[in-house]
Amino acid sequence: MPVFLTTTDDAFETQFKALLGAKREDSPDVDHIVAGIIADVRDRGDAAVIELTSKFDRLDLTPETMSFSPEDVDRIIADVPEAEREALQLAADRIRAYHERQLPQDESWTDASGATLGWRWTPVSAAGLYVPGGLASYPSSVLMNAIPAKVAGVPRLAITVPTPGGVVNPLVLLAARISGVDEIYRIGGAQAVAALAYGTGTIAPVDKITGPGNAFVAAAKRRVFGKVGIDMIAGPSEILVIADGDNDPDWIALDLMSQAEHDESAQSLLITTDAAFGRAVAEAVEKRLETLDRRAIAGASWRDYGAVITVRDLDEAAALSNRIAPEHLELCVADPDALCDKITHAGAIFLGKWTPEAIGDYVGGPNHVLPTARSARFSSGLSVMDFVKRTTLSKMTLQSLKAIGPAAEVLAQSESLEAHGLSVTARLKSLNE
Amino acid sequence: MPVFLTTTDDAFETQFKALLGAKREDSPDVDHIVAGIIADVRDRGDAAVIELTSKFDRLDLTPETMSFSPEDVDRIIADVPEAEREALQLAADRIRAYHERQLPQDESWTDASGATLGWRWTPVSAAGLYVPGGLASYPSSVLMNAIPAKVAGVPRLAITVPTPGGVVNPLVLLAARISGVDEIYRIGGAQAVAALAYGTGTIAPVDKITGPGNAFVAAAKRRVFGKVGIDMIAGPSEILVIADGDNDPDWIALDLMSQAEHDESAQSLLITTDAAFGRAVAEAVEKRLETLDRRAIAGASWRDYGAVITVRDLDEAAALSNRIAPEHLELCVADPDALCDKITHAGAIFLGKWTPEAIGDYVGGPNHVLPTARSARFSSGLSVMDFVKRTTLSKMTLQSLKAIGPAAEVLAQSESLEAHGLSVTARLKSLNE
């Protein structure tokens, strides 16, 4: 059973803090092993990648077979059923349409001093996307990472996906094809991250690496950060549902379970204004846990980290939600827009009872790579912005330098940076000659 | 003397790669010490901060004197000369005007399926700005960090600045006052970063920490990342000047020296289409190095990391510049706009001979916190965007769920995430009942 809390209890604040502070992830410390793998790939390139893939994935590659050729992909995706093909295409189209609106604008203007100022956005030249193999090999994640990169205009997008024993999920390759991915490598683990960051004889280095992975992949991403850009290191998934009593308990139970089934460390929370409804949802969860395929995982997550919190009113619900800063937030209340206005920290909000969070995982349009572990307080989900960077632009005329240069001279002097000041002085002096 | 390279030399590619790969920074490994300091501040709060400040800064604080009161600030800034006051205000006004244009827009639209989609930007609730003490205590950096945060709408902005022996730079406090900083603490080092991240009895925790610092501060920022957001970890400063022969060698020499004087590890590079001009600049540098106050630092930087590269034409200059991805790039050529169009990776570009880089350090308007060490390939300078985060919004109607829900069911099934699919199925089923 999950915990049941009520804000009117004296012990509530203590209980809520314990819930907020619960450590859900206990990553093994693999940093030492990963450091060795990265050094090996830097030193020996393809040879190291091939050896490590043979060892960890029981797959013997050569530089020639390291990537899937277009013909490989054609052959493997040929058998994907039409329904899945259409669903993936619909998802891709909607994700693309949403992300195209995120493309930032260049700006340029001339100010009163005559200075022309502005900025310009450009895509990274090459990005690498890590795709997990095995159970967590989700084609939807390929779309969610690859499409923003391509919308941003990244000219070269490479995927690495481990294929233990040579087995690959055809839908992953189809998602890559639909997204316009340029290169697909049959490698994984820290060796794949190292190959993307530093390059090998076969794989050219990239500038940015995104995508989820296990502890080895996460440690490798942390280590190559600085040499290349990385996206966030995602923790276990979370959902918070705020619901009034006017909902179907089974729907809310399924929404909670759709996070819980991801991972035993996932967290599903319900905040409700109606204590009886909260109990009804918990009962509906128990019922669903009798039959769900992933009931062992979902049940463990719900038992260890689940919670049902009864609040006095929706203002209190919003205040608690803002302290939680959830990755996913469902607002199943009569006026979800009004409640939404009170939310300051959340990765993604799903408004109203017709918007189960699962829609956002696949076909809604917004990205499903979102900040976890309360990091929505200071960070955003994956977007086109992760694949572009801004260059600021300044152009002075001699008039504008005359107008604002003297202030720069004063400040340079106050900071004891003489050459800074002189670089302005020399130019201003030429005007008086 | 710096190195002189020419692209027509057979050895050029090897020499250029060596220049690109030169390791300029050798940070001491203080991670172990920093881990202990952070643990101590988490455990003992104010008491630990007070002890560490006494030990490292020779300053005895109490919880009451840990921050500068508004009266302290009034008293200390009273003696700032009018010229410096005006220069700082001019800089602040220009920086604010530039950054106000960066405020991102919320979006909301309804698509063909009837789904309402969009996103919303909100500021972080609290930000902390680390300001170094001593020599590198630059008031301009206070403006560059604090103003974007306040433009973003951050309601609570705290500064920490170490005051060894109780000494503080009055201009730092004035810059904080002008920027609208809310709290100023007399602490520094890893203990200040820990206090901002985890909070103490006196200091409330923040959600984001920005600002430059020494190896201890950098290691502490890396360690608290995840608990809070951080900005980039900046390396030594760099400038690349692309100049044709029609420039005053002394101006370009001063521009190169205005980076070199920052730090012995700074790097100043000149790319020119005119070999004789390149030699003239090198001679002008030597001349300036006879008299510059910071000639020891600037001379070491120029000798160890400086370079003059002669190219065939400006296309070649642009291609090399894009491989360097410089923090600061000056385009001192007849048509800087045309050359600018060919630049894909740079933190900030300064166009034309009337725009010395020092203008950008103080009064231009754009931010002077910029990506170093080739990270302009994948990251941007500090901006309003560092203090806001995006929440994505989705609202389905029953019509839109009918239209796109079935595709989500198919994809959920293909990923073996049964509850995901059922959360859609249960809702769609109710429509048929």
Domains, in order of start, for chain B: 31-111+124-230 (3.40.50.1980), 235-378 (3.40.50.1980), 396-432 (1.20.5.1300)
User: For the CA atoms of B409, B397, A377, A253, what is the dihedral angle to 10 degrees?
Assistant: -50
Q: Is the dihedral of CA A224, A226, A230, A232 positive or negative?
A: positive
pLDDT exceeding 70 applies to what percent of chain B? 99
Record: contact A357-B423, CB cut-off 8 A: yes
Cα(B300)–Cα(B295) distance, rounded to whole angstroms? 8
Residue B135 has pLDDT above 70, yes or no: no
Q: What is the mean pLDDT of residues B330-340?
A: 98
The mean pLDDT value for B414-428 works out to: 97
Nearest to B302 by CA among B317, B316, B283: B283
- Write the CA distances from B50 to A244, A424, B39, B45, B55, integer angstroms: 48, 43, 15, 9, 9
Say yes or no to pLDDT of A327 above 90. Answer: yes
Cα distance between residue A129 and residue A122, in whole Å: 19
Using a CB-CB cut-off of 8 Å, the residues of chain B touching A251 are: 423, 426-427
CA-based torsion, A46, A49, A54, A60: positive or negative: negative
Of B233, B357, B427, the CB nearest to A354: B427
Q: Which residues on B lie below 8 Å from A362 (Cβ)?
A: 407-408, 411-412, 420
Residue B433 has pLDDT above 70, yes or no: no
Active site residue B107: no
* Inter-residue contact A6 to A307 (CB < 8 Å): no
- Which residue type, as a one-letter code, is found at position B395? K
Q: Span A36-55, mean pLDDT?
A: 97
Task: Select from B420, B425, B428, B430 the residue whose CB has the most chain A CBs within 10 Å, as the one to mutate to test that interface.
Answer: B420
What is the average pLDDT across A341-353? Answer: 98
What average pLDDT does this structure show over B169-175? Answer: 96
Which two tokens mark B315? Answer: 């296309």
Contact B384, B246 (CB under 8 A): no
Q: Could you give the C-alpha distances from B183 to A187, B69, B395, in angstroms and in order?
A: 50, 8, 40
Grade residue A433 by pLDDT with cuts at 50, 70 and 90.
low
Instruction: Supply angle C-alpha A244, A245, A247, rounded to 5.
Output: 90
Work out the average pLDDT over B384-403. Answer: 97
pLDDT of residue A14: 96
Mean pLDDT of chain A: 96
Instruction: Report the pLDDT averaged over residues B350-363.
Output: 98
Q: What token pair was written down for B431?
A: 């429509």
Q: What is the dihedral of CA A267, A271, A277, A283, to 10 degrees?
A: 10
Q: How far is the C-alpha of B401 from the C-alpha of B407, rounded, in Å?
A: 10
Are A363 and A86 in contact by the 8 Å Cβ rule? The answer is no
Residue A135 has pLDDT above 80, yes or no: no
**Residue numbers in B near A361 (CB within 8 A):** 408, 412, 417, 420
Nearest chain B residue to A376, by CA: B389
Cβ neighbors of B247 (< 8 A, separation 6 or more) are B277, B332, B353
Give the nearest partner residue to A292 out of B377, B411, B418, using CB atoms: B418
- What order do you get walking across the sheet with B229-230 strand by strand? B183-185, B156-160, B126-130, B208-210, B229-230
**Residue B415 pLDDT > 90:** yes
pLDDT in tens, B113-128: 999 999 999 999 999 9
Chain A contact probe: residue of B411, B425, B427, B429 with most A CBs at under 10 A: B411
Positions of A annotated as catalytic residues are 327-328
Give the pLDDT score at A27.
73
Handedness of CA B32, B33, B35, B36 (dihedral sign): positive
Contacts of range B261-264, beta carbons closer than 8 Å, 24 or more positions apart: B261/A417, B261/A418, B261/A419, B261/A420, B261/B292, B261/B294, B261/B297, B261/B298, B261/B301, B262/A417, B262/B236, B262/B237, B262/B297, B262/B301, B263/B236, B263/B237, B263/B297, B263/B301, B264/B297, B264/B300, B264/B301, B264/B304
3-state secondary structure of A102: coil
pLDDT at A233 over 90: no
Q: Do A97 and B111 meet the contact criterion of CB atoms below 8 Å apart?
A: yes
Residue of A nearest to B365 (CA): A117
Give just the sign of the alpha carbon dihedral A86, A88, A91, A94: negative
- Report in angstroms the alpha-carbon separations of B131 from A17, B155, B212, B362: 32, 19, 7, 16
Burial of A180 (0-12, 13-18, 19+ CB in 10 A): middle
Q: What is the ipTM of this complex?
A: 0.96
Give burial (CB, 10 Å; 0-12/13-18/19+) of B203.
buried
Residue B204 confidence (pLDDT) above 80: yes
The token pair at B16 is 């250029």
Q: Which among A348, A392, A418 has CB closest to B292? A: A418
Contacts of B359 (CB under 8 A, 6+ apart): A394, A396, A401, A404, A405, A408, A424, B350
Whether the Cβ atoms of residue B102 and residue A416 lie closer than 8 Å to each other: no
SS3 B75: helix
Beta bridge partners of B160: B130, B185
HSE at residue B5, side-chain half, CA atoms within 13 A, is: 24
Q: Which residues on neighbouring strands pair with residue B270, listed in sequence order?
A: B241, B308
Distance, in angstroms, between B378 CA and closest chain A CA? 6
Q: What is the DSSP string of B269-296?
A: EEEES-HHHHHHHHHHHHHHHTT-TTHH
Contact: B111, A90; criterion CB under 8 Å: no
For residues B326 and B224, the answer to whether their CB atoms sit within 8 Å is no
Q: Which of B380, B399, B408 has the alpha carbon at shortest distance from B102?
A: B380
CA angle in degrees (0–180, nearest 5) for B124-A153-A367: 45
The pairing of beta strand B116-123 with beta strand B107-110: antiparallel
Q: Which residues pair with B242 in a beta bridge?
A: B271, B331
**What's the pLDDT at B64?**
96
B259 known member of a binding site? yes
Structure tokens at B400: 């839109």
What does the pLDDT look like over B210-246, one tens digit per residue?
999 999 999 999 899 989 999 988 889 999 999 999 9
pLDDT at B27 over 90: no
CB < 8 Å to A287, chain B: none
Q: What is the mean pLDDT of residues A118-144?
A: 93
Chain-centre distance for alpha carbon A261: 19
User: How many whole angstroms separate alpha carbon A117 and alpha carbon A104?
Assistant: 17
**Digit-coded pLDDT (tens) for B299-314:** 999 999 999 999 999 9
B274 is in an annotated binding site: no
List pLDDT tens digits, range A248-299: 999 999 999 999 999 999 999 999 999 999 999 999 999 999 999 999 999 9
A390-428: pLDDT as tens digits: 999 999 999 999 999 999 999 999 999 999 999 999 999
